[in-house]
């Protein structure tokens, strides 16, 4: 094919363009296929299913808006929304704050920085894995590391993940601990800030805190915004930690019942895939809403240098 | 013919899942004729380490007898088992031979996930099983499951612990729940925080069934509706709260932790609780994990109960996935598990005291002490008529129970509120499935 086309000079221009397009699509093909088959297809399916009564083992039956009406009176769903929002609203700012703090410290040119960067990044690689969740369960268990450590100082321990008051906090700590990914992005952002701003500020007599507040922070706002959007979406989708730590129950007494865990329970423990799909779409709308809100708010606090 | 099948399948794989749903209704089950070609069966069960080892041995025996069949065992612990089975059944990819529980039997059978075993009766002999017991595997008058054995609820006591603290065994013909509380309190006091008297419960269907039956009621009415009275649930939770508050049982945090842990991590298995409620046939696994002397006692409260709580429960069932590609071979494996003498010798009473009388008599003299004790327990207790099979939709009862027990133990709701909420939630799940 290509040989034939190369010999017909009159058609060279459009064919070159077509060829480029073809090449582009070829390179995109794996991703496009993945998008259509693994993401879009199931999304369309779940959207259709959200209007059905589907018990997984028998064909779905059309149910109209029943599933959405049912949400209004479902107290466990309301509780799971509350738990999820608390998790997002508390853990994301803490995580980003810690990430920014460490990024600024590491950016100072600490000796062996590459080593520290890797060490701090490590939890991010492991954070949402099953292995870490199991480790968390041991560490925060009644007979776990944390209680033994507290015992050294005579402080009575408790069941950090088996008591409703503290279970969610334990998961929040786990999420905050995986601050490595935003930290690396902050580090890259810090490198982008021209040194001359700091020099000028120093000449004007600004101390380190003032330089951070008046130079670093404003110039870093686009990066903070990026991290905020990403981590909020990420936190809304948290599943593995809560599922493994509570053994799939979202317990004790629903205190760690994320919406994702509830969706899973309805779908696979209660054979209630139609309703589960409807809740999944509710979650999508909520995440989209938070993201839109973020973009609107960004106009007032994000500063673009150029 | 072959070609067309292959291409049809690849087309199905290629279209988005929404269209694939249409295929769910089609029956793609294989032929019940036995194949002479190599066949691979998938076989799944839940259980403890001891059961895994025994079952692997039985698989080897089966493969030696049927050279062209390979059996792939997929074993899990209880909690993960049902999530995984639901997912794989929904994907039309469940294992061929499935260890089934009474809790889930109706839910799977009424939704068409299990094979009607009369279609494979050429390969599966059920004549050795008592008719009444075999009937417990029926749903809507079709035989979807073969019971593996019988079990009865019991109290397992660690006599090594009691000896160490110088506490006498109670008389289990007359003892009451108050006696259990009292003797458990003595153990906790002597145990110095390391050992508690009772391993608290409140998360399993067996315990709730017993409590309800002793009060003269039942958990489910014959038509499948929830029938337990709120006052009975209130008593049940008040007793559990008493155990926790008087330190007869571990603190609620520990109880909750153990509720979702495996048998091997329980208070009985780790010798940290002197008394625990278990199915009698779990004694084998418990004894293996504990390493100490464990004794089966009759349940408290039976003597002064309005109706005997204890009953013969089909401990579990064998069933076959309705879309199995090899239903004939799967039936052969079930037949082997239910009727083969060598298999029975290996399994002992781990899946219940065998219901096949011939098998029961065969293995009884050769049993290890823990198995012997389990058989003897079943022979000596006086039982009453078993409860109906858990209705479709109520399979989640233990999770609903666990959540309410947690709320009560942590003082978040009063037992009265929990009772109302438990009943209405369970009933709505049953209504939704109907």
pLDDT of amino acid B163: 93
Q: Return the ∠ at Cα B35 (arms to B32 and B40), rounded to 5°.
A: 95
pTM score of the predicted model:
0.83
Q: How far is B272 from chain A (nearest CA, A)?
A: 13
- Quickly state the pLDDT bin for A49 (edges 50, 70, 90): very high
Q: Which of residues 165-224 of A touch B (CB under 8 A)?
A: none
**What are the structure tokens assigned to B430, written together?**
């049953």
* Residue in B with minimal Cα distance to A75: B425
Across B322-330, average pLDDT: 94
A209 vs B226 pLDDT, higher one: B226
So where are chain B's domains? 28-149+315-375, 153-310+396-433
Place of tokens 């109907």: B434
Question: Taking CB atoms and an 8 Å cutoff, what residues of chain A touch B251?
Answer: 142, 159
B250 close to B200: Cβ distance less than 8 angstroms: yes
- Taking an 8 Å cut-off on Cβ atoms, the answer to whether B86 and A271 are in contact is yes
User: Which residue from A41, A142, A159 is facing B17, i.e. has the nearest CB?
Assistant: A41
Whole-angstrom distance, CA of residue A61 vs CA of residue B17: 16
Closest CA to A252 of A182, A121, A163: A163
Give the range among A52-61, A70-79, A83-92, B226-235 with minimum mean pLDDT.
Answer: A52-61
Give the best residue of A134, A252, A254, A272 to mutate against chain B (max B CB count within 10 A): A252
| DSSP structural state of residue B292 | S
| DSSP structural state of residue B299 | P
pLDDT in tens, B192-214: 888 999 998 889 999 999 999 99
- Taking an 8 Å cut-off on Cβ atoms, the answer to whether B402 and A251 are in contact is yes
Give one word for B39, left, alpha or beta, with left for phi > 0 and alpha for psi -120 to 50: beta
pLDDT in tens, B10-57: 333 333 333 334 334 344 567 777 888 899 999 999 988 888 999 999
Q: Which of residues 11-40 of B touch A (CB under 8 A)?
A: 16-18, 21-22, 24-25
- Which CATH number applies to B153-310+396-433? 3.40.190.10
Question: Taking CB atoms and an 8 Å cutoff, what residues of chain B touch A269?
Answer: 82-83, 86, 395-396, 399
pLDDT of amino acid A306: 61
pLDDT in tens, A89-122: 999 999 999 999 989 888 877 777 778 888 888 8
Closest CA to A70 of A245, A272, A243: A272
User: Which residue from A44, A56, A251 is facing B16, i.e. has the nearest CB?
Assistant: A44
Whole-angstrom distance, CA of residue A140 vs CA of residue A245: 10
Place of tokens 């109209």: A64
Give the pairing of strands B69-76 and B39-46: parallel
* Residue in B with minimal Cα distance to A264: B83
- Taking an 8 Å cut-off on Cβ atoms, the answer to whether A271 and B254 are in contact is no
- Taking an 8 Å cut-off on Cβ atoms, the answer to whether A56 and B254 are in contact is no
**What are the structure tokens assigned to B82, written together?**
């049902």
First to last CA, chain B: 40
pLDDT of amino acid A121: 83
Percent of chain A past pLDDT 90, that is, above it, reads: 46
Fold identical between B28-149+315-375 and B153-310+396-433?
yes
The ipTM assigned to this model is 0.80
pLDDT of amino acid A12: 52
- Quickly state the pLDDT bin for A14 (edges 50, 70, 90): low
Q: Does B220 touch chain A (CB under 8 A)?
A: no
Pick the CATH number of B28-149+315-375 from 1.10.3720.10, 3.30.1660.40, 3.40.190.10, 3.40.50.300: 3.40.190.10
Q: Which domains does chain A have, with CATH numbers?
A: 2-49 (no CATH), 66-301 (1.10.3720.10)
Give the best residue of B12, B90, B107, B319 to mutate against chain A (max A CB count within 10 A): B90
A168 close to A255: Cβ distance less than 8 angstroms: yes
Question: Taking CB atoms and an 8 Å cutoff, what residues of chain A touch B107?
Answer: 271
The overall average pLDDT reported for chain B is 87
Question: Taking CB atoms and an 8 Å cutoff, what residues of chain B touch A243?
Answer: none
């Amino acid at each position: 094919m290509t040989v034939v086309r190369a010999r017909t000079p009159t058609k060279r221009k459009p064919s070159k363009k077509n060829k480029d397009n073809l090449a582009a699509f070829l390179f995109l093909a794996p991703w496009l296929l993945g998008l259509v088959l693994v993401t879009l297809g199931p999304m369309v399916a779940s959207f259709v299913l959200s209007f059905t009564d589907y018990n997984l083992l028998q064909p779905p039956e059309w149910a109209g808006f029943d599933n959405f009406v049912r949400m209004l009176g479902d107290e466990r769903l309301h509780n799971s929304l509350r738990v999820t929002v608390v998790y997002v609203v508390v853990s994301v700012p803490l995580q980003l704050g810690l990430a920014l703090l460490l990024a600024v410290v590491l950016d100072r040119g600490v000796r062996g920085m590459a080593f520290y960067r890797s060490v701090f990044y490590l939890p991010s690689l492991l954070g949402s894995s099953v292995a870490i969740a199991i480790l968390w369960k041991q560490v925060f268990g009644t007979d776990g590391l944390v209680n033994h450590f507290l015992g050294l100082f005579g402080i009575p321990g408790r069941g950090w993940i088996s008591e409703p008051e503290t279970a969610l906090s334990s998961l929040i700590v786990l999420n905050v601990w995986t601050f490595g990914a935003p930290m690396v992005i902050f580090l890259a952002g810090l490198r982008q800030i021209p040194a001359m701003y700091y020099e000028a500020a120093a000449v004007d007599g600004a101390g380190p805190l003032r330089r951070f507040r008046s130079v670093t922070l404003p110039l870093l706002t686009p990066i903070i915004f990026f991290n905020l959007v990403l981590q909020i979406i990420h936190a809304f989708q948290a599943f593995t930690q809560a599922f493994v730590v509570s053994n799939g129950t979202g317990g004790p007494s629903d205190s760690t019942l994320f919406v994702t865990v509830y969706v899973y329970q309805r779908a696979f423990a209660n054979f209630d895939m139609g309703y589960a799909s409807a809740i999944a779409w509710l979650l999508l709308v909520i995440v989209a809403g938070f993201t839109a809100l973020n973009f609107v708010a960004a106009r007032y606090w994000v500063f673009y240098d150029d | 013919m072959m070609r067309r099948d292959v291409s049809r399948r690849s087309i199905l794989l290629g279209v988005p899942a929404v269209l694939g749903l249409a295929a769910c209704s089609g029956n793609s089950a294989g032929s019940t004729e036995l194949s002479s070609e190599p066949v691979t069966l998938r076989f799944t069960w839940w259980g403890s380490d001891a059961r895994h080892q025994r079952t692997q041995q039985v698989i080897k025996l089966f493969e030696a007898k049927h050279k062209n069949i390979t059996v792939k065992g997929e074993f899990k612990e209880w909690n993960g088992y049902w999530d995984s089975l639901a997912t794989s059944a929904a994907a039309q990819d469940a294992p061929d031979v499935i260890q089934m529980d009474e809790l889930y039997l109706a839910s799977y059978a009424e939704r068409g996930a299990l094979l009607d075993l009369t279609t494979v009766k050429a390969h599966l002999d059920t004549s050795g099983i008592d008719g009444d017991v075999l009937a417990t595997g029926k749903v809507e008058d079709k035989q979807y499951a073969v019971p593996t054995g019988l079990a009865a609820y019991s109290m397992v006591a660690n006599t090594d612990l009691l000896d160490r603290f110088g506490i006498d065994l109670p008389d289990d013909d007359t003892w009451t729940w108050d006696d259990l509380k009292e003797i458990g309190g003595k153990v906790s006091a002597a145990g110095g925080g390391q050992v508690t008297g009772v391993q608290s419960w409140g998360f399993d269907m067996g315990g709730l069934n017993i409590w309800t039956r002793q009060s003269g009621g039942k958990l489910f009415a014959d038509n499948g509706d929830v029938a337990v009275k709120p006052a009975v649930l209130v008593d049940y939770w008040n007793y559990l709260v008493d155990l926790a508050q008087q330190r007869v049982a571990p603190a609620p945090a520990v109880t909750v932790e153990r509720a979702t842990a495996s048998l091997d991590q329980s208070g009985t298995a780790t010798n940290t609780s002197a008394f625990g409620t278990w199915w009698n046939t779990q004694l084998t696994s418990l004894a293996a994990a504990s390493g100490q002397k464990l004794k089966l006692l009759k349940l408290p409260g039976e003597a002064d109960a309005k109706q005997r709580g204890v009953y013969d429960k089909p401990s579990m069932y064998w069933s076959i996935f309705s879309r199995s590609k090899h239903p004939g071979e799967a039936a052969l494996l079930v037949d082997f598990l239910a009727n083969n003498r060598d298999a029975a010798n290996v399994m002992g009473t781990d899946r219940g005291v065998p219901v096949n009388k011939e098998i029961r008599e065969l293995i009884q003299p050769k049993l290890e002490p823990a198995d012997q004790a389990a058989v003897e327990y079943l022979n000596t207790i006086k039982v009453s008529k078993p409860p109906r099979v858990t209705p479709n939709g109520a399979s989640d009862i233990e999770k609903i129970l666990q959540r309410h027990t947690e709320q009560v133990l942590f003082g978040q709701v009063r037992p009265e509120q929990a009772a109302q909420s438990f009943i209405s939630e369970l009933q709505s799940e049953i209504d939704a499935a109907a």
